[in-house]
Amino acid sequence: MSSLTTEEKERLFNDWKEYPMRKPRIAKVVVNMGVGRSGEILVRARTVLESLTSQTPIDLTAKQTIRDFGIRKNEPIACKVTLRDRKARIFLEKAITAVDNQIVRSSFDKFGNFSFGIKEHIDIPGTQYDPDLGIFGMDVCVSFERPGYRIARRRRQRCSVPTRHKLTKTEVRLFIEKEFDVEIVEERRIKFF
């Protein structure tokens, strides 16, 4: 469903082979579980997130007080995990399978990063339902970069990434379609059993 012709796609693939510094890669995958309140439910969400990612989650706190929902400022109400390298790729493959290998076109930003939600964590392959923990939903945010983006993060002689080296939506969509066998759709079709 991308706007590129077959010839343009082939040219882009050949460009990635010839110039490895141009090929996109996963920078990080951030998995966020917002439960809305602290206490035992947040502990259960942390346990689920740790079992899915094999990494210890950190708590996120409320930015403001909302009396109607019983939320106080600086109260922990969510948890998240940041995955990189191999762990990020493995988790992303499972998470994409949970959404039937479909990503909505509007989920991509102008630099090719995208996000999607999973309504129930038991949709992820290899996950068993535990009645003591319950069922949680999550947001998955995926960031992409090219080799060489380090110049924007290093301590000494930091500079910005030139526009010609930044990723575009089209490049990331094509990369995702090829590497993860994902279908980019206008609207996600939900399967009913």
| 104 touches 185 (CB < 8 A) | yes
pLDDT of residue 190: 62
| Residue 5 CB partners (closer than 8 Å, separation 6+) | none
Q: What does the domain layout of the chain look like in residue ranges?
A: 6-185
Q: Chunk the chain into consecutive blocks of 10 residues (it has 193) and report each block's average pLDDT, rounded to whole numbers.
A: 70 81 89 85 89 89 82 85 92 89 86 88 85 88 87 86 84 87 76 55
Distance, C-alpha 39 to centroid of its chain = 26
Q: Which two tokens stand for residue 29?
A: 């995958």
pLDDT of residue 189: 62
| Residue 43 CB partners (closer than 8 Å, separation 6+) | none
| 121 touches 48 (CB < 8 A) | yes
pLDDT of residue 148: 79
Question: Which position has the token pair 């969400």?
Answer: 45
pLDDT of residue 30: 93
pLDDT of residue 192: 53
At 104 the three-state DSSP class reads strand
CATH architecture of 6-185: 2-Layer Sandwich (3.30)
pLDDT of residue 142: 93
CB atoms within 10 A of CB 72: 14
Distances (CA, A) of 83 to 27, 53, 73, 80: 9, 8, 27, 10
Residue 108 DSSP code: B
pLDDT of residue 1: 45
At 137 the three-state DSSP class reads coil
